[in-house]
A and B are shown apart, each in its own frame.
Chain A
Amino acid sequence: MATEERSAAPHLGAVEQLGEEPDFTVGTPPTGIPGRARTEKARRVVTYAVLLAVSILFFVPFLWSVSTSLKTLPESVGFNLIPEHPTLNAYRQAFSAFNFDRYFVNSVFLATVVTLTNLVLASIGGYAFARIRFPGREVLFLAVLATLMIPDQLRLVPLFIMLTNAHLIGTYQGYFAINLVHATSLFLMRQYFLTIPKDFEEAAKLDAAGYFKTFSRVMLPLAGPALAAVTILTFQGTWNDFYWPLIIFQEDPSKFPLPLGISHFKDLYQTLWPQLMAASVITILPIAVIYVFFQRYFVAGVAAAGVKG
Chain B
Amino acid sequence: MVVVAAVSAAAVAASGQGRSERSVAPQATQVSGNITFATWASNPIETKLLDRFLNAFRKKYPKIKVNHLTFEPGYPDTMLARFAARKAPDAFYVNMDLALDWTKQGVVQDLTPYIQKYHYSTKPFFPKLLSAFQVKGKTYGFPKDWSPLGMETNNALLAKAKVKPPQTWAQLKSAAQKLKDDVPGGRPICLSNNWDRLMAFVYQNGGTFINAKKTKSTVNTKAVKGAVDYYVGLIKQKLAGTPAQLGVDWCGEALGKQKAAIVFEGNWVAPYMKDTFPSVKYKINPMVRNKRRGNLAFTNSYSIAKQSKNKPAAWTLIAYLASRPGQKIWTGSGLALPTRGDVTPLARFKVLVREAPYAHPYQFAPKFSKVLDVSNNELSAVIEGKKSSQDMLKKIQQTANDALK
Contacts and interface: CB of A to CB of B under 8 A. Distances in A.
Given A156-B81, A269-B268, A251 B69 contact: yes
Interface string A232-250: 0000000000000011001
B115 interface: no
Contact of B84 (A161, A246, A272): A161
Interface string B19-43: 0000000000000000000001111
Most buried by A among B72, B84, B85, B277: B85
A76 B355 CA distance: 34
A178 B252 CA distance: 42
Interface stretch (A43-51, A53-61, A185-193, A260-268): A260-268
A77 interface: yes
B278 interface: yes
Contact of B85 (A74, A161, A246, A269): A161
A5 to B, nearest CB: 53
B305 to A, nearest CB: 15
Interface in A29-44: none
B276 interface: yes
A285 interface: no
A84 to B, nearest CB: 14
B257 interface: yes
Interface core residue of B44, B46, B71 (most chain A CB under 10 Å): B44
A160 interface: yes
Given A157-B84, A160-B81, A250-B78, A268 B278 contact: no
Interface string A78-100: 00000000000000000001000
A263 B73 contact: yes
Given A73-B276, A263-B73, A268 B84 contact: no
Interface string B260-288: 00000000100110011111000000000
Given A156-B77, A266-B73, A270-B272, A74 B277 contact: yes
A267 B87 contact: no
Contacts of B71: 250
B74 interface: yes
Given A74-B276, A247-B78, A251-B69, A268 B42 contact: yes
B80 interface: yes
Nearest to A273: B276
B43 A270 contact: yes
Interface string B73-93: 110011011101111000000
A268 B44 contact: no
Contacts of B277: 74, 77
A172 B85 CA distance: 19
Contacts, number: 68
A267 B46 CA distance: 10
Contact of A160 (B69, B85, B278): B85
Contacts of A246: 74, 78
Contacts of B43: 267-270
Interface in A107-157: 156-157
B69 A164 contact: no
B133 to A, nearest CB: 20
B271 A270 contact: yes
For chain A, give the interface size range: 20 to 34
A267 B81 contact: no
B276 A77 contact: yes
A269 B69 contact: no
Nearest to B89: A251
Given A73-B275, A157-B84, A267 B78 contact: no
Interface string A60-78: 0000000000000110010
Contacts of B271: 269-270
Given A74-B278, A160-B84, A250-B69, A269 B272 contact: yes
A241 to B, nearest CB: 14
Contacts of B268: 269
A264 B71 CA distance: 10
Contacts of A264: 41, 44, 72
Given A77-B276, A246-B74, A164 B87 contact: yes
Nearest to A165: B85
A264 B74 CA distance: 12
Contacts of A250: 69, 71, 78
Nearest to A243: B74
Interface in B209-261: 253, 256-257
Contacts of A165: 85
B275 A157 contact: no
Contact of A263 (B72, B257, B272, B275): B72
Contacts of B275: 73-74, 270
Nearest to B278: A74
Determine which residue in B40, B74, B80, B86 has the highest number of CB atoms from chain A within 10 A of its CB, and name it.
B74
Contacts of B42: 267-270
Interface in B47-87: 47, 69, 71-74, 77-78, 80-82, 84-87
B267 to A, nearest CB: 10
A267 B72 contact: yes
A263 B77 CA distance: 16
B72 A268 contact: yes
Q: Which of A156, A165, A264, A268 has the most CB of B within 10 A?
A: A268
Given A251-B69, A266-B73, A269-B43, 18 more contacts: A74-B278, A97-B44, A157-B81, A160-B81, A160-B82, A160-B84, A160-B85, A246-B78, A247-B81, A264-B41, A267-B41, A267-B43, A267-B44, A268-B41, A269-B42, A269-B268, A269-B272, A270-B271
8 contacts: A77-B276, A156-B77, A160-B81, A164-B87, A251-B69, A267-B44, A267-B47, A269-B271
Interface of A: 73-74, 77, 97, 156-157, 160-161, 164-165, 169, 246-247, 250-251, 263-264, 266-270, 272
Return the 7 tightest CB-CB contacts between A and B, nearest first: A160-B81, A164-B85, A268-B42, A161-B85, A267-B43, A270-B43, A157-B84
